[in-house]
Structure 1
Amino acid sequence: MRLKSIVQKLHERAPKLGKAASLTTATGVITFNSILAGPPVWIMGAAKAFTGAAIADKAVIDVTNYWINSNNAVIDNILPRKDWRISLPDDVHTDGQYLLISNHQSWVDTSIMQYISEKRLPLTRFFTKFELIYIPVIGQAFYFLDFPMMRRHSKEAIAKNPALKGKDIEEAKRACALLKDKPFTLLNYLEGTRFTPSKRDKQNSPYKHLLKPRAGGLSLALSALGSEIDGILDMTIVYPDGIP
């Protein structure tokens, strides 16, 4: 609470300095947390990959939850002016299996979802490109946490090798199936990309604040997990003071 009070006073007396201090502190703490959490995720993730042990899978999730909770504590203490207005159904719980659809406006959207999901929803996962697996720590964490990782084959590649046609869909369904026996929140941005007025106008979207929806990811998830899902959550993120 003392840190929060100090940061609050700094933001009030020197807004630019306060903003810079908050950004620097958040970046430093999140980076440190990522370095600290990386080795345990690697070790437990490798054990899970080779043995399939449930205890290793749980350990990977526990370390990830620690990482998320620590980052959320930073948000609580160094961003003094927050006005969270969160509304969730009463029957939603951390042991459920949910599909979550949302609008997409900013690079911080996913961090916000992780924040509001703490102690309210199961660990949030989302569709990622398979190529991200080559990014140190982050890419392997996605793999060990059973994020659905999709390979995208270009038209040229399919033309050269017709056997690749439909492979991305098969792999996505197989990846989704890995979540069947565990709690999850599977996030899907129906717009497929972040909203901007120029993208909206280029698409000739009929919506003022949304791009045209793409149902591919949601359709895959429903096809692979339909019988397992406890519910579909429809989420709207609003930034009253402008998109960060």
Structure 2
Amino acid sequence: MRLNAAMQKIHERAPKLGKAMSLATASGVIAANSFGGSIPLWLMGVSKIITGAPIADKTVIKIADHWISSNNALIDTILPRKDWRINLPDDVRMDGKYLLVSNHQSWVDTSIVQYISEKRLPLTRFFTKFELIYIPIVGQAFYFLDFPMMRRHSKEAVAKNPALKGKDIEEAKRACALLKDKPFTLLNYLEGTRFTQEKHAKQNSPYKHLLKPRAGGLSLAINALGADIDGILDMTIVYPDGVPSYGDLWKGNIKRLGVDVRYIDIPKDLFVGIQNGGYENDDAIKAQMFDWVEQIWQQKDQRITKMLAEFDEREAAQTSNT
């Protein structure tokens, strides 16, 4: 608490110094935790792969939770006062199994997911490229933590070797299956990439704040994990002061943030159809899935407009009272 109070005073009296100190502190702590945790993570991760021991798996997750908790403590301690409005359902559980969909604007999004999830949702995982496994520390952490790592084959590679067709889907399903016996939050950014105005214009997107959604990743997760999930969650993130960089987070530049998480219902016949492989083999089910995803995105687009307006209304009210 003393550190937090001291940092608040610095941010108020010398903003430039406060930003520099916050960024330097965060960089040092995150680097130290990453390198310090890499050795036990490697030891437990290798033990998990060789022996399959549940204790090794649980220890790997505890190391990841500690890393996330340390980062979150930095957010609460060294950043200036902020207006972060976060809404989650009351009945989400640490031992639950959830699919989470979200809009995507910045590298900061994943840190925000980790921040809001601590002690409320299971460890968040997301689909990654298998090639990331060769990145020191980070890639191996993804592998040991059972992030679904996908090998994607280009059209050219499939043309040369037809046996590769469908292999990426099989691999993704196998990777998802590793989560079946443990709590999880599997995150899917349905837009497939970060939002930019250039991408928005190029797509001719029908949404004001969003790119066009994709249904393949979510369908794959439902197919692989459908019988085990406790619900599908929809997360909406807004940055009223503009899309931040990762450095902006640790400088304390994200003064205003809105996060809304809620359950979304999927028609039972559609869910069962996808679970039984219909998205890949039945054009009617695939079309129904696209229609449902577009409805979710229309609602999200309207929600973003409302959330941004609420920030503007509060700011206007505060200005008029000063």
Check whether TM > 0.5.
yes
Question: Once the 2 structures are TM-superposed, how far is the Cα of residue 122 of structure 1 from its aligned partner?
Answer: 0.2
Is the counterpart of residue 5 in structure 1 residue 5 in structure 2? yes
Question: Once the 2 structures are TM-superposed, how far is the Cα of residue 221 of structure 1 from its aligned partner?
Answer: 0.3
Question: Once the 2 structures are TM-superposed, how far is the Cα of residue 80 of structure 1 from its aligned partner?
Answer: 2.1
Aligned to 1:214: 214
Q: Deviations over 1:68-99 (max 9, x none)?
A: 10111111111122222221222210000000
Which range moved further: 151-160 or 186-195? 151-160
Question: Once the 2 structures are TM-superposed, how far is the Cα of residue 231 of structure 1 from its aligned partner?
Answer: 0.3
Amino acid in the other structure paired with 1:40: P
> Partners of 1:113 and 1:160 in 2: how far apart?
40
Aligned to 2:48: 48
Q: Deviations over 1:221-244 (max 9, x none)?
A: 000001101000000011122211
Is the counterpart of residue 81 in structure 1 residue 81 in structure 2? yes
Q: Deviations over 1:178-223 (max 9, x none)?
A: 0001000000000011101111010000011100001111111000
Map 1:88-167 to 2 at 5 A: 88-167=88-167
Is the counterpart of residue 36 in structure 1 residue 36 in structure 2? yes
Question: Once the 2 structures are TM-superposed, how far is the Cα of residue 155 of structure 1 from its aligned partner?
Answer: 1.2
Question: Once the 2 structures are TM-superposed, how far is the Cα of residue 172 of structure 1 from its aligned partner?
Answer: 0.2
**3-state SS of 1:28 partner:** helix
Question: Once the 2 structures are TM-superposed, how far is the Cα of residue 26 of structure 1 from its aligned partner?
Answer: 0.7
Aligned to 2:175: 175
> Partners of 1:24 and 1:106 in 2: how far apart?
21
Map 1:224-243 to 2 at 5 A: 224-243=224-243
> Partners of 1:225 and 1:3 in 2: how far apart?
44
Percent identity over the alignment is 80
C-alpha root-mean-square deviation of aligned residues, in Å? 0.8
Q: Aligned pairs, how many?
A: 244
> Partners of 1:241 and 1:4 in 2: how far apart?
24
Aligned to 2:26: 26
Q: Deviations over 1:150-181 (max 9, x none)?
A: 01111111111111111000000000010001
Structure 2: which 5+ runs fail to align? 245-322
> Partners of 2:148 and 2:168 in 1: how far apart?
11
Which range moved further: 14-23 or 51-60? 14-23
**3-state SS of 2:217 partner:** helix
**3-state SS of 1:237 partner:** strand
Amino acid in the other structure paired with 2:243: I
> Partners of 2:5 and 2:242 in 1: how far apart?
25
> Partners of 1:151 and 1:83 in 2: how far apart?
40
| More helix, by proportion | 2
> Partners of 1:21 and 1:163 in 2: how far apart?
54
**3-state SS of 1:168 partner:** helix
Question: Once the 2 structures are TM-superposed, how far is the Cα of residue 47 of structure 1 from its aligned partner?
Answer: 0.4
Map 1:189-208 to 2 at 5 A: 189-208=189-208
TM-score normalized by the length of structure 1: 0.98
> Partners of 1:71 and 1:120 in 2: how far apart?
16
Amino acid in the other structure paired with 2:234: D
Aligned to 1:70: 70
Which range moved further: 180-189 or 20-29? 20-29
